[in-house]
Structure formats: C-alpha cells, structure tokens
Structure 1
C-alpha cells in the first residue's frame, strides 16, 4: 500500500474491482498528510472515492494556511482552478455552518437563562426566598441560601431595586426596564393568571388582549423559544423530580 496504493486505486477504479478499491481507499486515507493532501484529493475526485475525498477536504480545510504553502497547492492554483474553487467553497460553507452553530448555541443558552429566571420569579413571588417574598411571608424567619435556583439572588436584588427606584416612573432606569420585561415575559407564559402571585401578571394579560399589536412577531418568537427551553429542561429531569417541581415559567431578558 505504501508503494503502490495510489496506482492500485486508479487501476481498481478503471477495471471496476470494488473490493480492491475499498481496501486502497482505506489504506490511503490513513496516509493522508498536509504535504500530500492535494494530490490525494485530486486522486479521490478522479477515482470517485467519496470517503477518501471527504477525509482529504476536511484535513485541508482544518489546515488550510499550512497546505496553502505546499507545492501541491501551488500546482493546483495554476492547473486546476475548478477544484480550487470547490475547496474554497467548502471551506466557506464550513465556516458559515460553524458560525450558525455557535450563534444557535448562544441563543439557546439565553432562552435557558430566561426560563430559569422565570422559575426564580415564580418561586420568589409564591414561596419567598432568602430576603424577598409575598406580602404575607414571615420576613423575620431566617432563611439560608437558596439551593434551588442559582439566579434567585440576582432576581431578588432586581425586585428590591424596582420597588424603591424613583426613575422608573419616567422610564429612565435600565434595571427597572429589565424587571418590566421579566414581568411581561412571565405573563406571556403564565396559564393561571387568576391564581398567579407574580405582580402585574393579570394586568399584562389584559393589556395584551386589548392591544394585539403590542405582541409583535419578535416577542412571540421569544416567548415560544423560552417555552420550548422550559419544556426541554423539564424533560431532562428525572421523572419523580419533574412531578415534584412546581410548574416552570420563563427567563430573564437582559440579565
């Protein structure tokens, strides 16, 4: 294979010897390097060997800066512009896919964070947490750190600020705007507004019903994504824990 692999692949292709062609393809794939990848790629293309072609073009794509300096690439630039264009298009498409995957993961992370923030908001307003809770909660009773939700402390600080801020009346406080967004997001998710203890839940529901234009397409998409993230988080929990968990809501828009 070391000495005659390339020749045997060409012959097995020309004379249609599939078993030999398969063995040559596997053997040559193990010997692909930065120095010979261009030659191997051309051979795989000519001999219709897709497995070898894919191995070569992936290696070339991952090491393009190095391959670009080789004699094989310089020969390719001068004698096979079609293959050069094919390779460059593959590299461009690969980078585009990677960027899309990264963006998708970042978006999913945001939706998961918003879902968790919604859970914290419901938990704080219905059960109470370390320093913030419903009006009928016994605030004198000492509570240790909340082990249930990692973001509860941040939501509690935001609620405290919202309750005392002087700028929020005029819409001049960024932190208060975030709190309004959290309340609105919760209301868009909540399916029990009459029993819900989260402030402004019913008011936002009524306002949304009266003004359909207020629920623009981007907001509706955000709501759907957060609901989906909440459902996926719930499914990832063990069955018993899912049954014990309170109904989950949505997460934090800009935290």
Structure 2
C-alpha cells in the first residue's frame, strides 16, 4: 500500500472494484503527508472518492502554510486552478463556520449570564444575600461572595448603586442605572407570577407593557425568547452537573474514609 496504493486506487476506480477501492482509500488516507496531499486530493476528485477528498481538504486546511510551499501546490496552480479555487473556498467556509460558532457561543454565554442574573434577582429579593436583602430579611453580611450564582456579587453592587445613584435621582443619564432598568424589565417579561413576585417594579413593568404594547417590539421579544431558551437549557444540564458533583463528593468521602482507615 505504501508503494502502490495510489496506483491501485486508480485501477480499482477504472475497473469498478469497490472493495479494493475502499481499502485503497483507507490506506492512502492513512499515509497523507504535507508533500503528497495536493496530489492525492486531485486523484480523489478524479476517482470519485469523497471520504478521501474530504480528508485531504482537512489536511490542507490544517497545514495550509506548509502545503503552499510544496511542489504539488505550485504544479496545481499552473495546471489545475479549479482545484485551487475549491481548496480556497473550503478554507473560507471553514473560517466562516468557526466565526459563526464562536459568535454563537458568545451569544449563548451572554444569554446564560442574563438568565442567571434573572434568577439572582429573585434570590436577592426573596431570600436576601451577603449585602442586599428585602426589607423584612436581614442580609447575611458575609465577607465572602455568594456561592450560589456567579453574577450575584455584581448584581448586588448594581442594586446598591441603583438605590443611591444621584444622577438617576436628579434625572441625569447613568449607564449602570440603565442596565439595572433593563434587568428589571427583562425579569418582568420573563416572570409568570407578577402578583406574588418580590422583585421591584415587576408588576408595574407588566402593566406598562400592556398599556404601551411594548410586547410588539420584535427585538425585545427575541431577547426574552433567547434568555428563556438559555434558562431551559441550563435547567436541563443542571441534573447532570448535580450528579457529577454528588459523584465527586461521594468519591471524596470514600477517599477520606479509606485514608482514615489506613
């Protein structure tokens, strides 16, 4: 296969021997190098071997700088520009997919943070936390940050700023206060129990939305849907995380017990 793999692949295609062609395709794909990948790519196209063709494309993508310096690439540029165009299109599409995936992950991360911030608001205004609590609950006044939510400390600081901000009281614009308004409004859009909800302005935002028909805002509706979707996905993954934590705790306990016995 090392010496005649390419020749056998060509013959198996010409004489329609599918089993031999399949074996040759696997064998040649395992022996791809930077030096021969362009030649094998052209052969894979001519011999109608899509798996080998795709593997060659991925190899070129992974080592493009090195492949560009090979004799096979230079020969292809002079004699088969169509293949070069296909390679460049494949690379461009791969880069576009990476960008889309990265952007999607960033968006999902943002929606998850917003979803957690919504839960955090309910947690603070219902149970109270380290430095902020409802009027009928004493804050814990712990020096360490809240370990329930990653965003809790930031939300508490935002609430404290919102309560004391002079620019907001005097009617001036404040970006942090505007952020708090947005969080409260988003919570109101998501909350399904406004009558019993203890988060400030929840019911008022609901009524205002009905009066002004703010629900017709397409962008806001999309944001609400995305946050709800992120919340649902987070809740689905929560049991798995809990199981992993419980398993880890069990293993740690077992190790400690074993250590004590020893």
Q: Is the 8 A contact 2:41 2:57 kept in 1?
A: yes
* Partner deviation per Cα, 1:174-196 (whole Å, 9 max, x = no partner): 11111101100100000100000
Partners of 1:151 and 1:55 in 2: CA distance: 43
Return 218-227 or 165-174, whichever deviates more. Answer: 165-174
TM-score between both structures, scaled by the size of structure 1: 0.89
Q: Is the 8 A contact 1:171 1:177 kept in 2?
A: no
Q: Is the 8 A contact 1:8 1:24 kept in 2?
A: yes
Q: Which has the higher contact order (CA 8 A, sep 6+)?
A: 1
* Partner deviation per Cα, 1:135-160 (whole Å, 9 max, x = no partner): 11135x65574321222111111111
* Partner deviation per Cα, 1:49-80 (whole Å, 9 max, x = no partner): 11111110110012112111111111111111
Q: Counterpart in 1 of 2:246?
A: none
The answer to whether residue 70 in structure 2 is matched with residue 70 in structure 1 is: yes
Q: Counterpart in 2 of 1:127?
A: 127
Q: Pairwise CA RMSD of aligned residues?
A: 1.6
Return 143-152 or 43-52, whichever deviates more. Answer: 143-152
The answer to whether residue 4 in structure 2 is matched with residue 4 in structure 1 is: yes
The answer to whether residue 209 in structure 2 is matched with residue 208 in structure 1 is: yes
The answer to whether residue 18 in structure 2 is matched with residue 18 in structure 1 is: yes
Give ranges in structure 2 of 5+ residues lacking alignment: 243-262
Q: Counterpart in 1 of 2:187?
A: 186
More helix by share: 2
Q: Is the 8 A contact 2:128 2:138 kept in 1?
A: no
Q: Counterpart in 1 of 2:47?
A: 47
Total equivalences in the alignment: 239
Partners of 1:99 and 1:216 in 2: CA distance: 28
TM-score between both structures, scaled by the size of structure 2: 0.87
Give, in angstroms, the shift of residue 215 of structure 1. Answer: 4.8
